[in-house]
Chains A and B, each alone.
Chain A
Amino acid sequence: MDFKHDILPLKNIIFRIALRIVLNREEAEDIVQDTLVKLWERRGELEQVDNLEAFALTMARHLALDRKEKMDNRNVSLDEKTHDRPSEGNTNSDQQLMRQETCHFIGHIINSLSEKQRTILQLRDIEGKSYKEIAEVLSISESDVKVTLFRARNEVKEKILQQKSLFL
């Protein structure tokens, strides 16, 4: 088990999942560090783990949920920190700018879902994971994954259509 070779490459997927849960970049980054250190400390056990990525994501999710609970208890205003930092300097065309705006809007819709819904949507539609893998990460059944994903996708659809009808 080599840290740079086996564990470090998981950083970005862990980051995206953590970010989707805590909705705060700095907190998400801390969660990535905590997860990777924990994995490294338990490297002896990892030989027996058949899906290291799922194992890492389960660990990261638990750490993220703990953090989120603490953040909520501290009454940190999530809305203030939810927005991704506006990217600087590389908005060359109006089209690109528009795209970022709309992505922002979809991101908002997804982030307004329940934690379980948005984590599952993230794993399926952004990370491209199978129902089986998602079930493993969340320690729930595959049918539970499907039902939750169904509700999540349709809630997003409804909100998009609502938004569109406002502009028309």
Chain B
Amino acid sequence: MDYKYIEQLIEGYFSCTTTLQEEQILRSFFSQEDVPGHLAQYADLFNYETEAKAETLGEDFDERMMAQIDATELKPMNAKAHIVKMTTRHIAPFFKAAAVVAMALTIGRAAEHAIGEQATEENNHVVAVDPYIKSSDVHQAIHVKDVSQAEMKATNDSIINLTREDEIQ
């Protein structure tokens, strides 16, 4: 058998011109049982290279490693602070929306209450100032009051609707 190719590869190996693949060919070649005499001197080196890759940690390493990682996870601040931060960031918009709704409702109620009182006063006033007023006029006055209340309610509703839209967005 001609070993010229292998000899060339060995020469290339020691002048660092071989590729990774060629170096793998050398290791495979030397892993066979019968290597010709003049090349045998290199067998130990290439076989060592193959076998040294099988050097591994003991089987109990993973268990110890995982225990250590779990211990790192349980360290006080790191993990927890992280989670809280994320939660706050996610929930914050909802708090904001809720606050806007609450504010709108409060203002709405207050406005409704105030206008309602005012309207009643006006109504009384109309009735008191002109006892001789025609019943149709009283009806008209009452009608005006109703319209203003209805308008107010509509405004409140639209504020609430707007806020709801905000919330949805």
Residues of A within 8 A of B (CB): 3-4, 8, 11-12, 15-16, 19, 29, 32-33, 36-37, 40-41, 99, 102-103, 105-107, 110, 122, 124-128, 130, 146, 149-150, 153-154, 156-157, 160-161, 164
**Binary contact track B45-82/A, C-beta < 8 Å → 1, others 0:** 10111011101110001101110110010000000000
Q: Which of B58-110 contact A (CB under 8 A)?
A: 61-62, 64-66, 68-69, 72
Closest to A130 in B: B20
Chain A hits for B55, CB < 8 A: 12, 15-16, 19
A40 to B94, CA, bound (A): 34
Q: Report, as a range, how many residues of chain B touch the other chain.
A: 20 to 34
List 24 contacting pairs A-B, 8 Å CB cutoff, sorted by A: A4-B66, A8-B65, A11-B61, A12-B56, A15-B57, A19-B55, A29-B61, A33-B68, A36-B65, A36-B69, A102-B44, A103-B44, A103-B48, A103-B52, A107-B48, A127-B53, A128-B20, A128-B23, A128-B24, A149-B16, A150-B14, A153-B14, A157-B45, A160-B41
Chain A hits for B69, CB < 8 A: 3, 36-37, 40
A12 to B58, CA, bound (A): 10
A2 to B13, CA, bound (A): 39
A16 to chain B, nearest CB (A): 5
Interface of chain B: mostly helix, strand, loop or mixed: helix
Q: Judging by beta carbons under 8 Å apart, are B57 and A164 in contact?
A: no
Q: Judging by beta carbons under 8 Å apart, are A107 and B41 in contact?
A: no
Q: Judging by beta carbons under 8 Å apart, are A11 and B57 in contact?
A: yes
Q: Judging by beta carbons under 8 Å apart, are B20 and A12 in contact?
A: no
B27 to chain A, nearest CB (A): 9
B15 interface residue, CB < 8 Å from A? yes
Known: A36-B69, A37-B68. 18 other contacts (CB 8 A): A8-B62, A8-B65, A11-B65, A12-B56, A12-B57, A15-B55, A29-B61, A33-B64, A36-B65, A99-B47, A99-B51, A102-B48, A106-B45, A107-B52, A125-B49, A126-B53, A146-B16, A160-B41
Contact among B16, B44, B62 with A150 in the assembled complex (CB-CB below 8 Å) = B16
Chain A hits for B16, CB < 8 A: 146, 149-150, 153
B63 to chain A, nearest CB (A): 11
A122 to B20, CA, bound (A): 13
Chain B hits for A122, CB < 8 A: 52
A118 to B49, CA, bound (A): 12
Chain A hits for B15, CB < 8 A: 150
